[in-house]
Amino acid sequence: MTPRTASAPSLVDYLSDVPVNPGPVSISVTPPIPGNDELANAAQLPPNGLQAALGKAASRLPTSGADPATHIKRLQQAISALPEHKTAGDAGSDAAIHMRAFLGR
């Protein structure tokens, strides 16, 4: 056993059959309900990393009923760049369009 391993704390006590939780059983949280103005303002902001990534990923989804092998070949041959959305609203709208096509709605 290396000195580092020998000095590491044991986790055996934490893997017992009876969990110990000194905190409350649950925490009641009231979710925030943003107003229309707040949502409109947020939609005009630049997309954050997650919003940008979801917008780009959704653009590569196949449409409902598409042959997966054909779709993959089409993606491999595509020279088009991934979309760069200017606003969070644009990223969300574009992702929603692609998701509806993917789900056949």
pLDDT at 57: 93
Q: What is the pLDDT of residue 10?
A: 84
Amino acid at 93: S
What are the tens digits of pLDDT across the range 65-86? 999 999 999 888 887 788 999 9
- How far apart are the C-alpha atoms of 3 and 1, rounded to whole Å? 7
Task: Note the pLDDT of residue 37.
Answer: 97
**Token pair of 62, please?**
């196949």
Question: How big is the chain by its Cα radius of gyration, in Å?
Answer: 24
Does residue 43 contact residue 88 with C-beta atoms inside 8 Å? Answer: yes
Report mean pLDDT in 10-residue bins for the chain, 105 residues. Answer: 88 75 88 96 97 93 91 86 92 94 91
Question: What integer pLDDT is reported at residue 17 of this predicted model?
Answer: 74
- The model carries a pTM of 0.63
Residue 15's pLDDT is what? Answer: 78
CB 46 within 8 A of CB 88: yes
CA distances from 66 to 78, 92, 103 (A): 16, 23, 11
